[in-house]
Structure 1
Amino acid sequence: MTFVQLIDCKTSRLEEMDRLLDKWVEQTKGKRTATHAMVGKDHSDATHVVEIVEFPSYEEAMRNSGLPETDRIFQEMVALCEETPTFTDLDVVRDAQLNADAARRFFEVLQSEGDLSPMAGLFAEHYHDHDPANEQDIIGLDHFRREMDVWRGGFDFTMRIEDQIAEGDRVCTRWSWDATHKGEFLGIPPTGKKVSMTGTTIFRFDSHGKIAEGWWQYDRLGLMARLGALEPTEL
């Protein structure tokens, strides 16, 4: 079970504490068990600072605490604080990666049998789509929906999320796509062929949690060749 420590302290020497944390990161390289660290400053009290440190488990947190480097840095941290820091130990019972969940929801909607109206709750109205296979970027949710309908009209397909990485306002999804060519697609009449490909999509989220921009990488040229739309010499 993921474990989190909250370290609560009062200090007017935040810059020195920040440098101290950099020192701890450097000295514990290859030894520490912490996977994520974040420092927050109280919006209404600049001397109130909270450090949030994430570990894979309570046992790993205890291993990290037992490092001599961690103990030395903690003693230096105490010297920078106006009061002795307090610790709160938390077993994580829910970890909602909201942007990643929204990106996952898009791929679910895309391959569903219903219409694409749920995309309105996921995307910004002025969504900007970058697809190197298109001559121009697509601007606007309505235009993007029409682009997705072209794919849905041409293929019966399923998509599987292979990997997903979220950082800041971006979510990167590596996916696989398996389809049957059932209808006209970019001027190619239905062939009934079974085709597949893999790709990567990066979504940028705005401050309201909506998908505002997207970048796609996949082998459309290879797909067209498998549908018989290209001569071998054109590859």
Structure 2
Amino acid sequence: MTFVQVIDCKTSRFEELDRLMDAWVEKTKGKRTATHSVIGKDRLDASHFIEIVEFPSYEEAMRNSTLPETDRIFQDMVALCDEMPTFTDLDVVRDQQMFSATVRRFFELVQAPGELPPLDEVMGEHYHHHDPANVDDVVGMDQIRREMRLWREGFTFAFTVEDLIADGDRVCARWFWKGTHRGDFLGVPATGREVFMTGTTVFRCTGDGRLAEGWWEYDRLGLMEQLGVFEELER
């Protein structure tokens, strides 16, 4: 679970404090576990600053705090503050921006060349896949990987995410898909044709930012027409 630490401090020597934090970043390069940091200044009190630091987990944050550079920087930081800074530890229970980033990463992974990468960084083990083209829903990481391999063996393709709209634990993606038919797909031998589709997918995400469920809508009929399936039937 993503972990956030909020550091609240007052200082009339912010420029020095800012240089100190730059020094800490340089000295801990390759060792620190923080993934993102934001510093805000109180609009009503120019000496009041709040830093929000994000970590992949509480455990990673604790590993970061045990670095000798972190301890030295903390002592120097206290000396630059007008009073003792306070620290608030937070487990992230929802992050809509993280959900959108996960969806973008999912589309990057499924179109990556070569062997299909692991999907566990973006998808829960029991992911539930709704596809109107399937008689039954696909449930589970192994099942969804088999579904993705079917497409990857049939096409070399790429997604372009046109829009992402997040609301609560849902992210809606409007996408454009373009591919080259290079292998058997649902009994249709490779044609070498360039094909394309548009579609929309609504994902449900869990608190840790991974995908738990997806509802897909796309023009499968139009795709089969581009592959010449109906040409064969008309003969």
Smaller-chain TM-score bracket: 0.5 to 0.7
CA distance in 2, matches of 1:114, 1:96: 31
> 1:66-145 counterparts in 2 under 5 A?
97-145=97-145
CA distance in 1, matches of 2:192, 2:231: 19
1:170 corresponding residue in structure 2:
170
1:206 matched to 2:206: yes
For structure 2, the 5+ residue unaligned runs are: 1-44, 55-94
Report which stretch shifted further, 197-206 or 225-234: 225-234
CA distance in 1, matches of 2:169, 2:153: 31
- The alignment-based identity, stated in percent, is 54
Residue type of the partner of 1:169? D
CA distance in 1, matches of 2:98, 2:228: 41
CA distance in 2, matches of 1:142, 1:227: 28
Kept after mapping to 1: 8 A contact 2:110/2:117: no
Structure 1's 197 and 138: CA in aligned 2 closer, same or farther, altered over 3 A? Answer: same
> 1:152-163 counterparts in 2 under 5 A?
152-163=152-163
For structure 1, the 5+ residue unaligned runs are: 1-85
Kept after mapping to 1: 8 A contact 2:96/2:167: no
Kept after mapping to 1: 8 A contact 2:109/2:117: no
CA distance in 2, matches of 1:117, 1:157: 15
Structure 1's 89 and 224: CA in aligned 2 closer, same or farther, altered over 3 A? Answer: farther
CA distance in 2, matches of 1:225, 1:149: 22
Shift of 1:120: 1.2
CA distance in 2, matches of 1:203, 1:96: 12
Residues matched between the structures, number: 151
Q: Give runs of ≥4 in structure 1 deviating > 6 Å.
A: none
| CA displacement 1:206-235 (0-9 Å, x = unmatched) | 22222110000000011111101125989x
Q: CA RMSD in A?
A: 3.3
CA distance in 1, matches of 2:226, 2:119: 30
